Structure formats: structure tokens, C-alpha cells
């Protein structure tokens, strides 16, 4: 009974908060920058990386690892499929992720490097007080490989907070099926209608019903994308003749709600305002 009352109280509080924020939405919306409006309307922004040094950091480290693991020098990442067998790909990829997130790389400021790629962009979308996922992830999509696909999904369906966004960094030019797709916000109603009709649809069926509405992101090496992971997105078999390489990591407002991925476990603070440091550490004087 008590639990039920607390739940009702929480729902009422959340609804009141939502009502209050939405009351100011129109006024606040007019003050947003064009990038911020674009992010709300389309669900993503693509911009030039803010630090070439940090971009080179990741590119060089990955090339070094390929050299160490596969004894291949001067590899063109686009042609990676020519030197690896599909059956060895996932192990190789997981090994590389382990390396990127190792304490050795963290000592080289790998997290800061990732944040520096798009600090201003993330601040525009997320705010100034930010939590960053502790681990950076890596995708490698070989041409014609159907073994490592991410079918249509929204990250919130598997326990991510709707307050998270993803910073996606291509290490090669990405386009059409070599890239990822997203259902833009304007088409979300179409998804909801299809989903409502038959919620037992699997991801492939959902994708087939929506494929004429999804947008494959055209993005070049040297650019980044921040996207709304609440919107349905994914990838399909890479039908091009080039391998896709991309890094990704999540960011969110430090003080926004967490779901399965908690602060201190999956997320760590990457920027904090002085007033918050004072507030967190404040103690009322004791008589």
C-alpha cells in the first residue's frame, strides 16, 4: 500500500514537472541555436571535429594496434576486410575495445580526447554539467557481413536513460549502407502507428515497414555526429566495397535521471560547475 502511494506521488511529481517545463517550451525554443533546433527536429547534428589532435589520437592508436595484432603496416581502414576473416572480426574488435579503454590509454587521457572531439557540440545538446560513459565502443562493419548488425532499436528499450545522447565518430567516410540509419523525429509518428498495430513485430519486420522513411547518415572522416538514441536507429548489411569503422560513446546531463547505467558505474562526471561542487559538499552548521 505504502509503495503504491509513493509510486502515485512520484508519477504526479514527474507529470507536474513535465507540465511546468512544457509551459515554457515555446518561449525557450525560440532562444535555441540552429544546431539545437536541428537536433530536436531531425534527431542528430553532424559537425566538424573540434580537435584534430584528438581525432589523430584515436586514428593513430587504432592503426598502431592493427599493426601490432596483425603485423600490417600502413593499413587503409577502408580496406580492412582484405586482411581479416569475418570469423575473427568480433574477437579482434573486442580486443581493440579493451585496449582503447585500458588504464594505459586512460593515462593518455583517452576520455578527455573523446570529449574534446565535440565539447562545444555536446554542451549545446546536453548542457554544461556532463556525465560521460566510462567506456568508448567501436564498430567495424565489413562489406557483406551480416554477423555484427544492430537491427532497428532505440537504446531506451534496453535500459538506457532517455536523457542520454551518443557521440558517433567515423574513422572513415560513411554513406548509405556503410553508415548507420536513424528515423528522424518527423517520422516518429509513423513508427508509433506501426508499432502499436503489432508490437510483436521483430526489428527486421519493423525496419521493412519503415525503410522508406529512415535516413542513412552521410558523414565524412573529420566530422562527428551527436544523435538522439531515443529515436529508432540501427544498421543493415554494408553493401559497399569498403569497411566501416566508427567509435561511439554516451553523454548526458550529470544531474538528469539515470536508468540501468548508473553514475559511478557506467557513467563518470566529465564537467562540473562550481555551484554544484559547493552544493554537493554543503553541510548545515551543527549547533
d(CA 244, CA 179): 7
d(CA 116, CA 113): 5
Q: Which of 155, 164, 223, 242 binds Fe ion (CB under 5 A)?
A: 155
Closer of 155 and 164 to Fe ion (Cβ): 155
Residue (of 265, 241, 76) closest to 171 by Cα position: 76
| Angle, CA 40 vertex, CA 18 and CA 126 arms, to 5° | 75
Which listed range, 40-48, 73-81, 151-159, 256-264, lies at the site for Fe ion (CB under 5 A)?
151-159
Shortest Cβ 91–Fe ion spacing (Å): 22
Shortest Cβ 229–Fe ion spacing (Å): 5
Q: Which residues 157-216 are close enough to bind Fe ion by CB under 5 A?
A: none
Helix, strand or coil, per DSSP, at residue 81: helix
d(CA 67, CA 52): 22
Shortest Cβ 151–Fe ion spacing (Å): 10
Shortest Cβ 180–Fe ion spacing (Å): 8
Shortest Cβ 248–Fe ion spacing (Å): 8
Indicate whether 223 belongs to the interface with Fe ion (CB under 5 A).
no
Shortest Cβ 106–Fe ion spacing (Å): 24
Q: How many helices (H) and strands (E) does the chain have?
A: 10, 10
- Find the helix or strand (DSSP H, E) in which 225 lies: strand 223-228
Closer of 94 and 150 to Fe ion (Cβ): 150
Closer of 116 and 153 to Fe ion (Cβ): 153
Shortest Cβ 185–Fe ion spacing (Å): 16
Closer of 164 and 223 to Fe ion (Cβ): 164
In which residue are the cell numbers 580537435 written? 51
CA distances, 133 to each of 54, 56, 90 (Å): 17, 21, 22
Count of positions on this chain that bind Fe ion (CB under 5 A): 1
d(CA 179, CA 142): 11
Residue (of 44, 64, 68, 69) closest to 248 by Cα position: 44
Closer of 155 and 223 to Fe ion (Cβ): 155
Closer of 80 and 168 to Fe ion (Cβ): 168
Which listed range, 72-80, 113-121, 126-134, 155-163, lies at the site for Fe ion (CB under 5 A)?
155-163
Which listed range, 9-17, 67-75, 118-126, 150-158, lies at the site for Fe ion (CB under 5 A)?
150-158
Residues for the chain: how many in total?
287
Spell out, one character per residue from 97 to 136, where the chain touches Fe ion: x when CB under 5 A holds, - when not.
----------------------------------------
Backbone dihedral angles phi then psi of residue 45, each to the nearest 5 degrees: -130, 145
Whether 43 and 182 have beta carbons less than 8 Å apart is answered as: yes
Binding region for Fe ion (CB under 5 A):
155
Amino acid at each position: 500500500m505504502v509503495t503504491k502511494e509513493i509510486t502515485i506521488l512520484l508519477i504526479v511529481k514527474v507529470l507536474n514537472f513535465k507540465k511546468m517545463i512544457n509551459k515554457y517550451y515555446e518561449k525557450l525554443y525560440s532562444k535555441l541555436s540552429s544546431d539545437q533546433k536541428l537536433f530536436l527536429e531531425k534527431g542528430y547534428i553532424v559537425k566538424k571535429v573540434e580537435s584534430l589532435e584528438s581525432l589523430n589520437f584515436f586514428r593513430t592508436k587504432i592503426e598502431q594496434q592493427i599493426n601490432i595484432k596483425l603485423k600490417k603496416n600502413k593499413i587503409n581502414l577502408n580496406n580492412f576486410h582484405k586482411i581479416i576473416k569475418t570469423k575473427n572480426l568480433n574477437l579482434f574488435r573486442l580486443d581493440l575495445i579493451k585496449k582503447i579503454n585500458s588504464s594505459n590509454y586512460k593515462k593518455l587521457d583517452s576520455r578527455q580526447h573523446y570529449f574534446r572531439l565535440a565539447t562545444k557540440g555536446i554542451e549545446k545538446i546536453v548542457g554544461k554539467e556532463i556525465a560521460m560513459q566510462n567506456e568508448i565502443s567501436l564498430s567495424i562493419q565489413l562489406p557483406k557481413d551480416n554477423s555484427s548488425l544492430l537491427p532497428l532499436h532505440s537504446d531506451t528499450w534496453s535500459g538506457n536513460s532517455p536523457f542520454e545522447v551518443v557521440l558517433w565518430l567515423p574513422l572513415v567516410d560513411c554513406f548509405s549502407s556503410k553508415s548507420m540509419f536513424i528515423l528522424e523525429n518527423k517520422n516518429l509518428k509513423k513508427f508509433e502507428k506501426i508499432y502499436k498495430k503489432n508490437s510483436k513485430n521483430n526489428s527486421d519486420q519493423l525496419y521493412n515497414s519503415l525503410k522508406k522513411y529512415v535516413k542513412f547518415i552521410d558523414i565524412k572522416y573529420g566530422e562527428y555526429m551527436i544523435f538522439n538514441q531515443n529515436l529508432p536507429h540501427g544498421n543493415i548489411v554494408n553493401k559497399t566495397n569498403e569497411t566501416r569503422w566508427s567509435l561511439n560513446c554516451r553523454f548526458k546531463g550529470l544531474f538528469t535521471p539515470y536508468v540501468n547505467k548508473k553514475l559511478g558505474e557506467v557513467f563518470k562526471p566529465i564537467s562540473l560547475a562550481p555551484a554544484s561542487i559547493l552544493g554537493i559538499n554543503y553541510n548545515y552548521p551543527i549547533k
